[in-house]
Structure 1
Amino acid sequence: MGVLYMNMKILRQLGIILALCLAAEFIVSMLPIAFPSSVTAILILAALLGLKLLQEGHIQETADFMLSNMAIVFVPVSIGMVEDIGLLKGRMKGFLIVVCVSLVLTFLGTYVTVRIVQICMERLAGKGGVSDE
């Protein structure tokens, strides 16, 4: 019974994630502008978690599995990029500039976000709202 229960739990979790993705696809198809459905799905997930309509435990095992095996998703994309490397001929300098600027902006954005969260946590801890333990 334990194996069957676990299999059904994972199927239910996959169903929840698939339903979020399908809902995001539907929402994006209704928008007048182009917007990535994957980002929409993440926003829906964040809203559901924030509103406590969905709990982390509802998707925990499947999400952990997907995160730990995320590298598999990038293999086909990487191979596709290698096959189309000829498209970058004559544009390599611009491509590298975009990559470097994006890298720096990503690091800065991450730093600022973490710093803001740290400041908020310190203020909440000072008011007795959040403890480190």
Structure 2
Amino acid sequence: MKYLRQFSIILFISLIGEIIHLFIPLPIPASIYGLLLMLMGLKTKLIPLNAVEDASMFLIEIMPIMFIPAGVGLLDSWEILGAMLIPFIVITLLSTIVVMVATGKVTQFFIQIDKKGKDDDHE
């Protein structure tokens, strides 16, 4: 029963995201609105973490299974994608490197800010 209640909360937030998507004419997917609403609800404590924690952990555990249909769809389109394989590989490698470097730099920046803040507190 606990899982059903938690899934219901997650689905309700997703529904609100879909409704917002209908009224706001921006090219933002409805799921992003739902994620932002969930984040705001959790940060403001309107939605306690324990109200969705178990169901969300379950969804994270089964997430790899959700990619199987997309993978099968790609295999089904192999004739079209095969000609573009080299550009896809190059773009994927380059974008992965750029994302890793950017993530590392941003993380280092915030670690330095955190260290400065702790050093200022000790003085």
Stretch of structure 1 that moved more, 9-18 or 93-102 = 93-102
- TM-score scaled by structure 1? 0.78
Aligned partner of residue 89 in structure 1, secondary structure: helix
Q: Greater helix share, 1 or 2?
A: 2
Q: 2:25 aligns with which of 32, 35, 38?
A: 32
CA distance in 1, matches of 2:48, 2:106: 24
Q: Could you tell me which runs of 5 or more consecutive residues in structure 1 were left unpaired when the two chains were aligned.
A: 1-7, 129-133
Q: Could you tell me which runs of 5 or more consecutive residues in structure 2 were left unpaired when the two chains were aligned.
A: none
**What is the aligned partner in structure 2 of residue 49 from structure 1?**
42
Superposition pairs of residues 91-106 of structure 1, within 5 angstroms: 91-106=84-99
CA distance in 2, matches of 1:116, 1:12: 40
Number of aligned positions between the proteins: 122
Deviation at 1:86, TM superposition (A): 1.4
The one-letter code sitting in structure 1 at the alignment partner of 2:85 is M
**Relative to 1, partners in 2 of residues 1:90 and 1:100: Cα closer, same or farther, differing over 3 Å?**
same
**What is the aligned partner in structure 2 of residue 16 from structure 1?**
9
Which stretches of structure 1, 4 residues or longer, exceed 4 Å deviation after superposition?
none
CA distance in 1, matches of 2:56, 2:76: 31
Q: 1:65 aligns with which of 58, 83, 89?
A: 58
CA distance in 2, matches of 1:31, 1:37: 10
- TM-score scaled by structure 2? 0.83
Identity among equivalent positions (%) equals 23
Deviation at 1:124, TM superposition (A): 4.3
Give the aligned CA root-mean-square deviation in angstroms.
2.1
**Relative to 1, partners in 2 of residues 1:55 and 1:120: Cα closer, same or farther, differing over 3 Å?**
farther
